[in-house]
Structures are given as structure tokens and as C-alpha cells.
Amino acid sequence: MKTDSVFYRIFKASPGILFELLEQSPDLALGYDFSSVEIKQVAFRLDGILLPKPDAPDQTVWFVEIQMQDDPEFYHRFFAEIHLYLKLHPKTYDWQAIVIFPSRNIEPKNRRLHRTHLNSDQVHRVYLDDFKDSSTESLGIGLMQLIVADTADAIAKAKELLTRTEPLSKTDAKFSAIMETIETIIVYKFPSLSREEIEKMLGLSELKQTKVYQEALEEGREEGIAEGEQTGVLKGERSLILRQLSRRVGTLPAGVEAQVQALALPQLEALGEALLDFAELGDLSEWLQGQ
């Protein structure tokens, strides 16, 4: 399952979940804005960063990285990105980092070079497997559990989350974003099913007809929150795909990068799946020709 864009949407909408993963109050996120930041000098990109608002009492910058695939050089790159960011922003007050792994098996085994950081109070490692079977009232943690759930359990877990979400339809306009996220996770887990089939399986049709949902959906379209085609998420999706491509096939020629930039969201999501099989630039070029 391609998860980068799912995590981006979740943390963009509810950055407080990051602090819940650390067993801290989600209210700590009230003074922050979540975004993805590119360090253009060397084409580095941080998956996510919590930048403190100018009037926030705590001016600590939080770096966020989601590492769902095995990469022995992950920590080399991650800490290089952080220190390059600090070099370019020397007035940064302080920093913390959160790294999210699906399990301990994915974390790089050779950590000796980075033991100072990893053993400090600045770097927090989260393993989603640790939350897999735990009981929680938090919808945010529930979404994390759904992402790592086995396909055999995913539908039941999604329905349970939707049941807990339904009461929000009368009081909280954000419930539509939660519903969309749950549906998107299931779409990625069951790529052979259409969205219509998944809606029917999860019983989403009636919820989507409620006035609060429709109003929230319209507001999301206007503000760039609920719909995948909105500017913020679309930019984030493009940036993540370009970053993954550069790791797979190397630096992209300007013309090829322009072709990727021009893709619509459904094509970007399809490319995110296809690039896992790319071995060289020619594979990407062939895929783009097919579009």
C-alpha cells in the first residue's frame, strides 16, 4: 500500500496525532502548521515538518519522517536533511524529530554512526506495530492502526472507526475528512475494488448524504482540505512522488519532471504504485508515454 500521501493528509488535517503517538497531549499541535519542505540546494525533501506559528510560546521545530520501506541508508539521509535545514535556517530555536516505522524490522540495523542522536531526547522513534492491538479512544491512533492492519482485519477495523466517527456528523464538520481518510486507506488496501464497491461495503452512502458532510465537503473544496485535487495536497503528492522517483532512477531531466508535474492526482497515485517496479529512467519514460 502506498502510504506517504495518506500520512500527509492525516497529519495535515490533524497534526495532534503526532503527539498522541508520543503519548502526549494533541493540544501541543495547536501552535504549529504541518507542511512538507523541500531543501532545493541538494534536492532533499522532508516528509513533514511542524513549523511553530510566530506567536506560539514554544518555537521548537519538529521534523517528521515516515519510513515504511527497508532502507539501510535512511538515517544517513534523514539527519543530513535536518542539519542542512538548520544550516539554511540558523535562527531555529530548537528541534525535535519523529520517525515513524511500521515495525522494528524496517528500522536500519546499523545505527552506530547515529547513536548520539538516537540516544538523545531529540529523536523519537514510533513503531506502528506497537499500537496494532491496543485499545484506544483516539480516532487518530485508530487511523494509524488501520494503516498497518492486516487486510483480513481492515474492513472490520474501518467499520468500527466509522461507527465512532458517525456521532461527529451532528457536531463536527471535520468528520467528513476522517471519513475520506478511512475510505482512502481501504482503497489502497484493496486496489481491485472500486470506490463504489468500498462505499457499499463500509456503508458510507447514508453518511455521505448528511447535511454536515456535504457542507464540510464543500468547505474542504474551497479551503484545500477535504478533496485530493486541492492545491495543498496535490502539491504535497507531486513533491513526494518526485522525491521517490529521484531515489529510484536518479535526477530527472527537466522535461521528464515537467511531465510528472502536469499529472492529475489519480495519475500521480497510479505512478506512486508503478514506480516501485522502476529500475531506470527508461521505465519512467515508458510509463509516461502510456499516459
Q: What is the pLDDT along the chain (291 residues), one digit of tens a residue?
A: 456 667 877 888 788 999 999 989 999 999 998 877 665 554 556 678 899 998 899 999 999 998 988 899 999 999 998 998 899 889 999 999 999 999 999 999 999 999 999 999 999 999 998 888 778 788 888 889 888 888 888 888 888 888 887 766 555 556 667 777 888 888 778 878 777 788 888 877 655 654 545 554 555 555 544 444 445 556 667 777 887 788 778 888 877 887 888 787 777 878 877 877 787 888 888 888 776
Q: Catalogue the E-assigned strands of the chain.
A: 32-39, 44-52, 60-66, 94-101, 123-127
Q: How many Cβ atoms from other residues are within 10 Å of residue 275's Cβ?
A: 18
Environment class of residue 58 by beta-carbon count within 10 Å: exposed (0-12), middle (13-18) or buried (19+)?
Answer: exposed
Question: Among 104, 106, 108, 129, which Cα is nearest to 117's?
Answer: 108
User: What is this structure's pTM?
Assistant: 0.67
Residue 97's alpha-carbon distances to 35, 69, 137, 247, in angstroms, are 14, 19, 25, 22
Half-sphere exposure of 291 (CA within 13 A, CB side): 20
Q: Which residue blocks in 47-138 are alpha helix, DSSP H?
A: 74-88, 115-118
Say how far apart CA 209 and CA 100 lie, in whole Å.
Answer: 35
